[in-house]
A and B are shown apart, each in its own frame.
Chain A
Amino acid sequence: MSVDVVDLEKSYDTAPIVRRVSFSAPTAAITALIGPSGSGKTTLLRLIAGLEIADKGRILIAGRDVTTTTVQCRGIGLVFQGYALFPHLSVEDNIAFGLRVRKQPREQIEARVTEMLRLVQLEHLRRRRPADLSGGQRQRIAFARALATEPAVLLLDEPFGALDARVRAELREWLTHLHEETRTTTLLVTHDQDEALEVSQHVVVLLDGEVAQMGAPQEVYDEPATPATASFLGASPLKAPSVGGRDAVAFVRPADVRLTRAPLDDVSAGRFGTVERSKIVGARVKLVLRLVQGGERVDVDVGRDEFEALGARAGDVVVLDVRNARVFLGDYAI
């Protein structure tokens, strides 16, 4: 039940939103479509769902070309950011909606609704209205409704975007378990890279309507293919020593910099920086440093105890030990 997208294009009033996008979402896996806002990821999902019509290209679901198939017949289930439950129907009737459309017999619908409620662990809410439920519960009901009709593909559009941080963390784990049980091929649209890395087995990075990179989550995180991808995945550019006469830029994540006290005699080398300011954020400390040479800004994120052991205040000079920097050659706008 894979999803294959081939050279898909979509423009609104001549502004291209999706440009020649091709990718495959493997069967029974969760594929995350990640990218910043405006990268076209939601439009791409709506194209696959059939809620938007592509200008060019093809969409295949389970090997069947559905490019011109209506949304009703694509065999998809869609979960929206804002739940989109039917407010005037009970939880039970919401889940049964798709089954009633398919004119299934009454007992069969009853049984399937019970099964779905058990799957999302909300059997006790069967007769409630969406308005009586918490955000997390509503979204789980929306999952149940989407899965009730046994779609070939489950499409998730920022499913946890409207929830607070704690519930979001819970539901990520819940989604992992849900997927282990159902094994439905899933496409997850999110701007939250942590969510993508935690939940998915496959990641597609979208930037400006194009596929910038795809692969396993860890691979994409460790080896960003382009400076833009590296930047989206949380790394900041830093001028590196030129390689073979070509300019080089190193992309560094704030958590990949270790700090030690500088020896007092020599502060001329490139890896010394002055602490501009620091801010304790819970268990971590965020620092802004200026390189002694060149004056470039470096953001650093260290553990609280590491920061206290360092004992550095604003104005102090420290040594930067950069790990896992990703170096790109050539001219890049920084």
Chain B
Amino acid sequence: MLIGIALAFLGIFLLVPLGAVFVFAFRAGVGAWFAALLQPDTVHAIQLTLFVAVVVIPVNVVFGVAAAWLLARFSFPGKGLLLSVVDLPFSVSPIVAGLLFVLLFGRGGVFGALLEAHGLRLIYAVPGIVLTTWFVTLPFVARELLPVLQAQGCAEEEAAYTLGAGAWRTFFVVTLPKVRWALCYGVVLSNARALGEFGAVSVVSGHIRGVTSTMPLQAEILYNQYDFVGCWSVASALTLFALITLVIKKVAEHHCERPRLRRSERQHP
């Protein structure tokens, strides 16, 4: 009964809208869908969104793993501060985050004059979008890893040390494999957020079509222009990316499980 209610609820609130996106997108036919996506501005928005994700995710992985490892394994002065910094993007509204960057790096901002003197432009330009997206997605990897690292303790790492392994080898051969699922999940979450981030990016992008417009922004622009086919096409493409992300996660899981299966097969032929 309870399961039935939960499933019905999920169906109504998750699957129906998901389906609706595709129904609306393909209402004018597959040809119209492709045509809408192949508009130069929309193509650029797709490229920009993917570019931002490709830049932001590796940075997040490196920073997230380092931060989680530091927080889980060591106690040092300023540990509480680092923890708060990691959590900051979660607690700050994306709009506020965007405004923060405008105030810091925009024209007339704290570092605005300095940047302008060197001919650099962050706000209303691609670097600003990368920076804000990075800020907004920063906690995911660290937050996914931290509880896993804390729960697992460090006996295996200590065992590796006693066997002669140095800190780097221990980290890559012992620590990282232990947390690979959490890392995978953190990357998926942070990727989803990077692709879909609207608020903060909206503030710093300046909505310049074909230049600083990411996919969510492009969807909004098209919607405001009553270009519903275009809008739904972009929305459905975004949804498609989200689904691809999920599939990648599943495939990765499958690949990581397989060597283990092979080994046990060898054991029982």
Q: Which residues of A contact B (CB under 8 A)?
A: 49-51, 71-73, 76-78, 80, 82, 84-88, 90, 97-98, 101-102, 127-129, 132, 142, 145-146, 149
B266→A101 contact, CB < 8 A: no
A101→B164 contact, CB < 8 A: yes
Q: Which residue of A51, A142, A149 contacts B158 across the interface (Cβ within 8 Å)?
A: A51
B178→A84 contact, CB < 8 A: no
B residues 177-225 touching A (CB-CB < 8 Å): 177-178
Tell me whether B156 is interfacial, beta carbon within 8 Å: yes
Provide a sorted-by-A list of 17 A–B residue pairs whose CB atoms are within 8 angstroms: A50-B161, A51-B161, A78-B159, A84-B156, A85-B156, A86-B159, A86-B174, A87-B156, A88-B177, A90-B263, A101-B163, A101-B165, A101-B169, A129-B263, A142-B159, A145-B159, A146-B163
Which chain A residues lie closer than 8 Å to B177 at the CB level?
86, 88
Question: Could you tell me the distance in whole angstroms from the C-beta of B160 to the nearest C-beta in chain A?
Answer: 7
Interface residues of B, count at CB 8 A: 21
A72→B263 contact, CB < 8 A: no
B263→A97 contact, CB < 8 A: no
Q: CA A80 – CA B156 in complex, angstroms?
A: 9
Q: CA A97 – CA B156 in complex, angstroms?
A: 12
Which chain B residues lie closer than 8 Å to A73 at the CB level?
164
Closest to B166 in A: A72
Q: CA A64 – CA B174 in complex, angstroms?
A: 30
Tell me whether B260 is interfacial, beta carbon within 8 Å: yes
B162→A97 contact, CB < 8 A: no
A71→B161 contact, CB < 8 A: yes
Which chain A residues lie closer than 8 Å to B165 at the CB level?
72, 97-98, 101
Closest to B169 in A: A101
B158→A98 contact, CB < 8 A: no
Tell me whether B91 is interfacial, beta carbon within 8 Å: no
Q: CA A129 – CA B266 in complex, angstroms?
A: 12
A84→B161 contact, CB < 8 A: no
Question: Could you tell me the distance in whole angstroms from the C-beta of B127 to the nearest C-beta in chain A?
Answer: 39
Going nearest first, the 3 A-B pairs with the smallest beta carbon separation are A98-B163, A84-B155, A84-B159
B169→A78 contact, CB < 8 A: no
A87→B158 contact, CB < 8 A: no
Q: CA A145 – CA B156 in complex, angstroms?
A: 12
Question: Could you tell me the distance in whole angstroms from the C-beta of B17 to the nearest C-beta in chain A?
Answer: 39
B163→A127 contact, CB < 8 A: no
Q: CA A168 – CA B162 in complex, angstroms?
A: 25
B156→A128 contact, CB < 8 A: no
Q: CA A201 – CA B211 in complex, angstroms?
A: 79
Q: Which residue of B155, B169, B267 contacts A80 across the interface (Cβ within 8 Å)?
A: B155
